[in-house]
Amino acid sequence: MAGGLASLAAPGIVRAQSQSGPLKLGIVFAKQGVWTEQSKQLVDGVTLALKHKGNQILGRDIELLWYDEANPQGAQQNISKLMYQDKVFAVVGGSNSGTSLAMSSVAARAQIPYLCPGAAAAALTGSDCNPYIFRTLTTTMVASRALAPACLDIGKNWYYLAANYAYGQDIYNSMSGLLKQAGGKELGYDKAPLGTSDYSSFILKIRQAKPDVVMLGLPGGDLSTFLKQWADMGMKGKIPVACPIIGNIDLWSVGAEAATGYYGMPWSFSNPQNPQVEKEFAAEYAKMHPGQAPCADKVWLGWYTTRVLLEAVEKAQSVDANKIVKSLETTRINDGAYDAGYRSWDHQMLHPCMVFKVKDKITDKWDWLDAVAQEPKQPSWENLNALFGTEQEIGCKMPPH
Amino acid sequence: MLDIIISQLANGLVLGFLYVLLAIGLSIIFGLLGVINFAHGAFFALGAYFAVSLYSSLGWWSVILAPVLVAIVGMVCERVLIRYLYGKDPLLSLILTFALSLFITALIRLFWGAGGIPFSTPPAFAGIFEFGAIFLTRYRVAVLFITVLLLVALWAFLTFTPYGRILRAGSRDPEMVEMLGINLPRVLTVVFGLGCLLAGAAGLLAAPLLTVTPDIATVAIMPAFVIVTIGGLGSYPGAIVAGVLVGLVTALTVQFAPEASAASMYVLMALILLIRPRGLFGERWERFE
């Protein structure tokens, strides 16, 4: 609280960075609560990226400070502590939209770069954008654009089941717009309360409506519960289900017998078209965690975000916040086929989106997905820019910086 | 239209009975011990987790073992914590058991991890049961029968067996029971264990239906409280009627106004309490008046 008030009184404190000693990098990820598993994966990715640089940048050691992300208020307090007290040069954090939006406002006041790997809420780099926040994960709008063609190929009569909060509503809004554009028909739209534990009554309704595709707007835990009950009621394989953004853990917690559907996911270890660098990264992760689940999408998100950050700092040859921001806007990663990086006017990561389908027959313990589409098929900065939305669509008005 | 309503009602009935099993344990603990057990959801979660862990190694024996293990944990908690709450303000028991619930959930997270554990319906119960408009999974029908069986067994135990009579007498007049030479503290420990056994059994039965995460403790506790409140604190038939009512109302709300389905049981509770504040079958409980 005091930190918050102090930050209101003295925006943009100029920090006297010590010229020797370790550089501090802050991370804010959940150590308890529902986001613990995803957070652990994100942190694994961050530490792996640091390891690849020998835990050093600009000739100095990097000291990693990891604070908890229990809820939006707690996350705000912790990022304040990192930025004002611990004097980190950047923060990587946020496993969900709620905490990320809260932390973004702190970063804007403290004027320290804050990179968010795992939140999909449009507002983060849209209406609530600011010069110090950078986001890696795709928004629901873009993920929907990537998934829609595969679903429209199956059929044009869709039934929507979405959790009744921002994320679910975002998915419905994006997908229904795309369906209307393609001349499709909405057979029904059920808003399920967030955290519904029994979907059997919803499934009865869907069964009666007989759609071609069931479009789901459910977050991880709810999606797993739905899929389990969907399979129990004999609906698996009868009507395809789809969801624009999920993570590996959402399917793994359902079990191989119940897993089914078409999904947008940022990355999968099993995609044969991954660039060589990413294949090596996945192999290294597997070696570090023998007998455990392979590299999940969230590990990649943490790793990729930190990779870009370290490249940008290297390029800027400075840990001054504004120099890092400028560098992040122009740093590009090219692992073989295309440039990827944060767009300068909204700080959204431009990277191709993947669409996966659960295999009809699952034989491996962890490898359940086939890649069915990549959007755009031949990525280039221009078509990525178009896919991720125009300035008018995104609604980000960043002050000059 | 009639078809889908019938299938929703049938579905709601099955749901309702699972809620009843959960609520009965809570009702017994309150009715016979005067303790509001907020940790009931945590014991439900424990039942699910024990079932998941034991099924892979012990198969069908886990069905007996999981609830019994939960009962043992419950009896240990009673010995160490709960017995200090007897005869005290019910608010104290609410606070202590709330803390106990958080503690147990944290332990679950520590031992089993925070991620969801897949647990499928046993193959013997896989498949669908269709009868006219009624469309249910075989497993849910099995849950319905098992729950009814457990409820009948419980009622018979409490009504006809000497031990059941001791339990009921001990809650009405503890001094007299002790003067008759019965070791009351041990009896009360068993009662708490019995309530936890039922919660564990509900967790075991629910495990194939849900994604098994530590958060199912919170998923379970609220419907249990609502049902006990609607039915009347301490009332056995009340819990049954209320549980079925909540199941039916939730299913019908999903059909006609899905976004309100989570809130529907609270609206039902508010309406019933306005008309009858003690719940449908609630008794006036002397010790709190």
CATH number of domain containing A65: 3.40.50.2300
Which of B112, B213, B254, B259 is most worth mutating to test chain A (most A CB atoms within 10 A of its CB)? B254
- Amino acid residing at A85: Q
In-domain check, residue A362 = no
- Nearest-CA neighbor of B195 among B74, B15, B34, B73? B74
**What does the angle CA A229 – CA B40 – CA B147 come to, to the nearest 5 degrees?**
55
* A12 pLDDT above the threshold of 50: no
**Per-residue pLDDT band at A18 (split at 50, 70, 90):** low
| Percent of chain A whose pLDDT exceeds 90 | 69
Asked whether residue A157 falls in the same domain as residue A241, the answer is yes
A315-373 pLDDT, tens digit per residue, is 999 999 999 999 999 999 999 888 999 999 999 999 999 999 999 999 998 999 999 99
Each residue of A263-314: pLDDT tens digit? 999 899 999 889 999 999 999 999 999 988 999 999 999 999 999 999 999 9
| A32-91 confidence digits (pLDDT tens) | 877 888 899 999 999 999 999 999 999 999 999 999 998 899 999 999 999 999 999 999
Q: Are residues A202 and A128 in the same domain?
A: no
Q: Are residues A131 and A151 in the same domain?
A: no
* Cβ-contact A181, A211 below 8 angstroms: no
Q: What is the pLDDT of residue B28?
A: 85
pLDDT at A19: 63
DSSP at B212: B
CA distance A49 to A308: 9
Do A123 and A192 have their domain in common?
no
Bridge partners (DSSP) of residue A263 are: A243, A356
> What mean pLDDT, rounded, does chain B reach?
88
Position B237 scores a pLDDT of 86
- Is the pLDDT at B170 greater than 80? The verdict is no
**B17-36, pLDDT tens digit by residue?**
888 988 988 988 888 888 88
Query: Does residue A361 form part of some domain?
Result: no
Q: CA angle, B111 as apex, B108 and B114 as ends, to 5°? A: 65
Q: Mutate which of A35, A43, A198, A238 to disrupt the B interface (most B C-beta within 10 Å)?
A: A198
Is it the case that residue A94 has pLDDT exceeding 60?
yes
Confidence bin at A10 (pLDDT 50/70/90): very low
Number of domains in chain A: 2
Cβ atoms of A300 and A312 closer than 8 Å:
no
Interface probe, candidates A43, A44, A204, A216, chain B, greatest B C-beta count within 10 A: A204
Please indicate, yes or no, if residue A244 is contained in any of the structural domains.
Answer: yes
A199/A221 Cα distance (integer angstroms): 13
Q: Name the A residues in 194-253 with CB < 8 Å from any B CB.
A: 195-198, 200-202, 204-205, 207-208, 221, 224-225, 228-229, 232-234, 249, 252-253
Q: Same domain for A129 and A216? A: no
Smallest CA–CA distance, residue A229 to chain B, in Å, is 6
Of A33, A204, A258, the CB nearest to B11: A204
* Residue A296: predicted pLDDT: 93
Does any domain span residue A252? yes
ipTM score of complex: 0.85
- For the segment B156-174, the average pLDDT, to the nearest whole number, is 82
Residues 6+ apart with CB under 8 A from A265: A245, A246, A247, A248, A297, A354, A356, A369
Q: Which helix (H) or strand (E) holds B27?
A: helix B2-33
Q: How far is A213 from chain B (nearest CA, A)?
A: 19
Range name among A18-22, A151-155, A246-250, A371-375 with the lowest pLDDT average: A18-22
Identify the domain containing residue A51 by its residue range.
Answer: 2-8+20-138+295-350+388-394
B216: nearest CA in chain A? A197
How high is the pLDDT of residue A153? Answer: 94
Which of A250, A265, A280 corresponds to the end of one domain?
Answer: A265
Q: Say how many residues make up chain A.
A: 401
Number of H helices, E strands in chain A: 14, 16
pLDDT for the residue A13:
44
Note whether B137 contacts A: Cβ–Cβ < 8 A: yes
Measured CA to CA, the distance from residue B87 to residue B83 in angstroms comes to 9
Q: Report yes or no: B111 at the A interface, CB cutoff 8 Å.
A: no
Residue B288 pLDDT > 70:
no
Structure confidence by residue, pLDDT tens digits, B205-255: 999 888 888 888 988 889 999 999 999 877 888 889 999 999 999 999 999
Question: What is the reported pLDDT for A104?
Answer: 94
Contact A212, A155 (CB under 8 A): yes
User: Would A270 be classed as within a structural domain?
Assistant: no
B203/A contact by beta carbon, under 8 A: no
Percentage of the residues of chain B whose pLDDT score is greater than 90 = 41
Domain boundary among A224, A247, A265: A265
Residue A241 has pLDDT above 90, yes or no: yes
Q: Does domain B2-288 have CATH number 1.10.3470?
A: yes
Average pLDDT, whole number, for chain A?
90
∠ CA A126-A129-A131, rounded to 5°: 145
Convert A177-200 to b/e letters by CB count within 10 Å (16 or more is b): ebbeeeebebbbebbbbbbbbbbb
Q: pLDDT band at residue B86, thresholds of 50, 70 and 90?
A: confident
Burial of B175 from C-beta contacts in 10 A (0-12 / 13-18 / 19+): exposed
What's the mean pLDDT in B195-203? 94
Q: Which residues of B touch A256 (CB under 8 A)?
A: 118
Option in A197, A228, A232 nearest B219 (CB): A197
Mean pLDDT of A237-255: 90
Residues A121 and A186 reside in one and the same domain: no
Contact A193 B262 (CB under 8 A): yes
- A376: in domain: no
